[in-house]
Structure 1
Amino acid sequence: MISLIKEILSYPFMVRALVVGVFIALCASLLGVSMVLKRYSMIGDGLSHVGFGALAISTALKLQPLVISLPIVVIAAFFLLKIKESSKIKGDAAIAIISTGSLAVGILVLSTTVGMNTDVNNYLFGSILGVNENEVALTVILCTIIFILFILLYNRIFAVTFDENFVMSIGNKVEVYNMIIAILTAIIIVLGMRTMGALLMSSLIIFPALTAMRIFKQFKKVVIFSGIISVFCFILGLLISYLYAMPTGASVSVLNIILFIFFYIIE
Structure 2
Amino acid sequence: GPGPDGSYGPPGPGYGPPSDGEPQAVDSLGHGWRAFTANPWPFVVSQILWGLVLVVPVGLLLLAIGVLGAGRVDEDGDVSRGLAALFGFGGLLVVLVVALLAIVQVGAFATASLRAIAGERVTLADFFRPRNVLQLLVLAVIVGLASALLAITGIGPLIVGFFGIWSVFFVVDRGESATTAIASSVRFAIDNVAQTIVLVLLGYLLNVAGALACGVGTLVTNPVTMLAFADYYRRRSGAATPGRPVVG
TM-score, normalised via structure 2 length = 0.31
Task: Select the structure with the greater relative contact order (CA < 8 A; seq sep ≥ 6).
Answer: 1
Question: Which of the pair is proportionally richer in helix?
Answer: 1
Larger Rg computed on CA atoms: 2
